Amino acid sequence: KPELTSTKTIFVREVWFKYIAIQMNIPQYTSMIEKYEPNLISLGLISIITAGDGSGFRHTNYFRLTDMGYKFCEFMTNYED
């Protein structure tokens, strides 16, 4: 697993893409994660991009998930037909 690098509260997005792709068992598709990142941000599910060059993101209480993103994931994992 890749280590997440941090400078105070700024985390490196490129590493986050790799980490999520590995967690989804698609390590070769980090570009797919990057493609849909703006959608997740606009929906308020993950934290915003930080750093002037767009390389970082804000760490939250749930790593990068917002409170709403965490609750949504919790709902989806507990959902039953």
Check if the beta carbon of residue 48 is closer than 8 Å to that of residue 57: yes
pLDDT of residue 3: 53
pLDDT of residue 79: 84
Confidence (pTM): 0.75
Alpha carbon distance 49, 71 (integer Å): 21
pLDDT of residue 15: 87
Check if the beta carbon of residue 66 is closer than 8 Å to that of residue 17: no
pLDDT of residue 44: 95
Residue by residue, DSSP assigns 26-80 as -TT-HHHHHHHHHHHHHTTSBPPEESTTS-EEE-BTBBTB-HHHHHHHHHHHH--
Cα 69 to Cα 16, 44, 80, distances in angstroms: 16, 7, 19
Which residues of the chain are modeled with pLDDT < 70? 1-10, 81
